[in-house]
Chains A and B, each alone.
Chain A
Amino acid sequence: DIQMTQSPSTLSASVGDRVTITCRASQSISSWLAWYQQRPGKAPKLLIYKASSLESGVPSRFSGSGSGTEFTLTISSLQPDDFATYYCQQYNSFPYTFGQGTKLEIK
């Protein structure tokens, strides 16, 4: 199975900050990576697919990059709605696997 490792596990930041979350795969997954946002008690929401493609309706302050084994999700200027947990997920091979999550907290 492909292991997905996110860092950091928790991130404290302020409104307006630029933040970056890293996701590493245990083997190459090309660009078959998605990022999701999950607010407490809610279903996940797709943000980014194919490593860098922005899902329709998602604000442009979200961006993704990377290929192979190292990927990043960047939020250019944090808004109050962005404080949530973020997950990466590989869909290169079965079983699909998620990172353990990064909780973005208000500083």
Chain B
Amino acid sequence: QGQLVESGGGVVQPGRSLRLSCAASGFIFSIYGMHWVRQAPGKGLEWVALIWYDGSNKYYIDSAKGRFTISRDNSKNTLYLQMDSLRAEDTAVYYCARGGRYTLSSSYMDVWGKGTTVTVSS
């Protein structure tokens, strides 16, 4: 079925940067689209970004455009989220999740990591 393990979270000051990683195992990472989804404390789920299986297409929520960059290294089975110009409202648990295969990359999320916590505070 597969496993996803996020890392890279922490406490960061507003305006600073952070890079999250998501290590995949137990499935062929290079054929799946991958998502980032976040959840602010006590709030619901919010989709953040998607990258296609080959990195050819990327999609973002409006609040992330121009600040966050999703990327992947299929040779390392790893997904990334580079987050710049962080704001207090970016404080959340960030989950990576698996999407669909190949050109069905833009799909629902069937495998989820346990999440990594990002706190933006001065």
Residues of A at under 8 Å CB distance from B? Answer: 34, 36, 38, 42-46, 49-50, 55, 87, 89, 91, 94-101
Contact = CB atoms under 8 A, between A and B. Distances in A.
B112 A96 contact: no
Contacts of A46: 108-110, 112
A43 B44 contact: no
Contacts of A98: 44-47
By secondary structure, the A interface counts as loop
B44 A91 contact: no
Given A94-B59, A95-B61, A95-B62, A44 B45 contact: yes
Nearest to A35: B108
Contacts of B114: 42-43
Contacts of A91: 106-108
Nearest to B115: A43
A98 B68 CA distance: 20
Contact of B47 (A38, A45, A50, A89): A89
